[in-house]
Every structure is written in C-alpha cells, then in structure tokens.
Amino acid sequence: MAVVLTRRPMAADGSFLSPLCRSQLTYASQAAPVVALARDTRAAAGRSAASVGARPTSSAGSGSGGSVMSRESEPPQAAGPEGAASVLVVDDEDDLLELVRYNLAKAGYRVSCVSTGEEALSHARRQPPNLIVLDLMLPAVDGLEVCRRLKADAKTRDIPIIMLTAKSEESDVVRGLERGADDYITKPFSPRVLAARVKALLRRQESQRAAEMETTIDVHELSIHPGRHEATLAGKPLELTYTEFSLLTFLAKRPGWAYTRMQIVDAVKGEDYPVTERSVDVQVAGLRKKLGAFGSYVETVRGVGYRFRA
C-alpha cells in the first residue's frame, strides 16, 4: 500500500493551517509592518506625553479598553494631502483599521478612522466625508444600522458607502446593499482592490454631481439651474440671495416631502450652524414674498416644518 505524504504549512504554535487560515496569514503578513510602525509611533507619543505629565493616548489592551484609533478629547483628524478626497474608515479591529488607513493614505486620500458606530455617525454629520468604508460587525450600533441612519439623513444620504466585512453569505450582501451600501467587500481582501473600488465610487459620484449641476429642476412654473445658480418663475428670472436660492432648491428637489426646520438649516447652512428655528421662518417669508402669487407653493406643515407643493 502506497502512502502519500503532503506538506501543509505550519503555524508558529506547531498547528497546521487550513486553506482559509493560509489566506488570512497572507492578509496578516501584509498588515504586520504597518501595524508595527503604528505601535512604535504610539509608544513614542505615549512616552513623550508621560514626560510632560500629559495623559497618553489609549492603546489596545490597556486597562481603559479604549481604541487606539480614536481619542476622547478630540475628533479624528483626516491625514493626507490637502484638497484630496476624504475617506472615513469605521472598524473595531485596530490592526485592520491601520492597514486600511495606510493603504488609502498611500493612494492619496485624506483618511479619518473611528472604531464605533456612534463615532461614525457623529463624525459623518459633523464633517461629511466623500466616502465611508464601513465594517458590518461593530459593537452597540452595527454597520447595517449606521448605514440606515446615514441614508435617512438629508445631510449624509449621498455619501457612498463600502461595506467591509467578514460576512460573505449572499443574504448578508443583499441586506447590506438594501440598506443603502454602494459596494460590498469581504475579508480577507486586497488593499489594492479596496483602493480601486474607492477610486471607482468617487469617480462615479463626481460624474453624478456634475450631471446634477447641469440638470434643471422643473416644478410647476418654476425652473432652477443649480450649476448656473439661476431660477426662473413663469419665464421671469428670480432675484434670490444665496440662502434663498439654496432653500428653494432644497425644497423643490423633492416636491411633497416635508422637512423640519433643523433639517433645512443643516442642508442649507450646515450642521451646528448658530441659527434659531425662527430665522428659518423669516427666510421662508422672504422667499414667499419674492415668489409673489406662487408663494403658496412653499407650504407650512404644522408640527413639522415646510415642503414644496407636489
């Protein structure tokens, strides 16, 4: 009887690796130099902070249980060339977070990293990125819920989202895409493929934005051209301020949709803009006056806010 011996790769502890483990070993070997460099940098920063009596940045495995990629006292800052597209990376695995950050920054993007769903929502609303790389399995608020909330918010709904997760079942992919994800990449993955997917999504978003700027919004007798910043009513040009034009465009894009005053402020002025809800009423009153006989197109929704008549 012939005996056939096959040679299988062995792990450091003497156990044999399965094909899946070999794939993950390759993945880990790609991350190791990057993560080691990051740990050395953090260790040096911690020693420097300790020497002046400052509180060092929390690290993985510390008693505080904090993430190495987020800080309690300050929001995550995007690292990368000024003017480059910004990417928010969300994952609770510090090694993976550093691997993605390193490769996307190397590809020329400004990268911010957070490790929880709550931090992702806060950062995206405060400083909307051009794209989000989102892990599915996050503590507390998972990736699917983060995606749902982002797509339900007028301020963040247009941000492309790439799901990055170990869940590769068809049902998981479908759920992610149904919640609003624009792409889905399973772990282990190639950093080059991720960078290529990011580039493709950003290129598609830019093309869509350019098309929107060239597309007029026509509702009833109103015509708005966002690219030229022009609005006409019954064929006559409207003389609108920047805020009035933005308000009219925001409402007219989705006739029949009701928006709260704070949603209008966030869309027109940006989140956390120092303005009261009463000032929205003043802007709407001024817009209605300039619309003249067509001012009734901007309807008041009691208990909610305003909408443009469908």
- Which tokens is 122 given? 């806060």
Q: Report the pLDDT value the prediction gives residue 116, as an integer from 0 to 100.
A: 93
CA distances from 217 to 143, 195, 284 (A): 34, 35, 19
Q: How far is CA 285 from the centre of its chain?
A: 34
* Contact criterion met (CB below 8 Å) for 161 and 132: yes
Contact 122, 95 (CB under 8 A): no
Q: Domains, the chain, ranges and CATH?
A: 34-44+77-210 (3.40.50.2300), 217-308 (1.10.10.10)
pLDDT tens sequence for the chain (310 residues): 554 444 444 444 444 444 444 444 444 455 555 445 445 544 444 444 343 334 333 333 344 344 444 433 344 556 556 678 999 999 999 999 999 999 999 999 999 999 999 999 999 999 899 999 999 889 889 989 999 999 888 788 889 999 888 877 777 778 888 888 888 888 888 889 999 999 999 988 887 776 666 678 888 888 888 878 889 988 889 999 888 998 999 998 888 999 998 888 887 876 556 667 788 899 999 999 999 988 999 999 998 999 998 7
Per-residue model confidence (pLDDT) at position 109: 94
pTM to 2 decimal places: 0.54
Q: Are strands 259-260 and 298-301 parallel, antiparallel or unpaired?
A: unpaired
